[in-house]
Chain A
Amino acid sequence: KNQVEQSPQSLIILEGKNCTLQCNYTVSPFSNLRWYKQDTGRGPVSLTIMTFSENTKSNGRYTATLDADTKQSSLHITASQLSDSASYICVVSRSYNTDKLIFGTGTRLQVFP
């Protein structure tokens, strides 16, 4: 079964600290993996997209890694800010069609001062 699992479900950190979110998938065939940020009451916003040949991709303080062999991805947030409080969603594309996106349930991150 094609699935995307994220851990932890929720995370609380202090402002300025780093954190890492995990994503494991069993989607096949694999095309690409995306990370989205979703603020409360808003739609998701794309952070990164990686293909199977890319190991790392950065977007400011966000760094995503991908291990296509173990089917794992992580999103590392450096020097967290209060504005990082959001849900982070891992999305895997089964093929080259965007109607084949499999969404994870997200990790809820809360950053406290």
Chain B
Amino acid sequence: DAGITQSPRHKVTETGTPVTLRCHQTENHRYMYWYRQDPGHGLRLIHYSYGVKDTDKGEVSDGYSVSRSKTEDFLLTLESATSSQTSVYFCAISEMSGSLSDTQYFGPGTRLTVL
């Protein structure tokens, strides 16, 4: 998984509780991404980062926030989890954006269940 770890790998939580997922990379890549994967949907981008403290929204950002205080760490926070946020969350990294040969490398995923 290209030097990417996600924690926790599995989590069960209750509606209304805050949840933070962590992505850690050892590749020193500039770009980091959070996606969610749900049955019947392709991977959908939640937020991404193009550098320390530089983040932007993706396609499905409502209800999520992110932070990146160090190159190697990208945190995804659900301020008040809802059942619709039950999903598998993937972190990805890439060395550059905009290059035709750019490749995103994905982490192993975090399975989140909100009861």
Chain A positions near chain B (C-beta within 8 angstroms)? 4, 31-32, 34, 41-46, 49, 51, 89, 91, 96-99, 101-106
Top 9 A-B pairs, shortest CB-CB distance: A43-B106, A103-B42, A96-B98, A103-B43, A98-B97, A46-B103, A44-B106, A105-B42, A104-B42
How many B residues touch A, CB cutoff 8 Å? 29
Q: Which residue of B lies closest to A3 (CB)?
A: B42
A32 CB to closest chain B CB (Å) equals 6
Contact A101 B109 (CB under 8 A): no
Q: With an 8 A cutoff between CB atoms, is B48 at the interface?
A: yes
Q: Which residue of B lies closest to A54 (CB)?
A: B100
Contact of B104 among A4, A32, A46, A97 (CB under 8 A): A46
Q: Which secondary structure dominates where chain B touches chain A?
A: loop
How far is A96 from B108 in the complex, measured between Cα atoms in Å?
A: 26
A103 CB to closest chain B CB (Å) equals 3
Contact B56 A99 (CB under 8 A): yes
A106 CB to closest chain B CB (Å) equals 7
Q: With an 8 A cutoff between CB atoms, is B41 at the interface?
A: yes
How far is A96 from B90 in the complex, measured between Cα atoms in Å?
A: 22
Contact B42 A43 (CB under 8 A): no
How far is A97 from B94 in the complex, measured between Cα atoms in Å?
A: 11
How far is A46 from B94 in the complex, measured between Cα atoms in Å?
A: 12
A34 CB to closest chain B CB (Å) equals 8
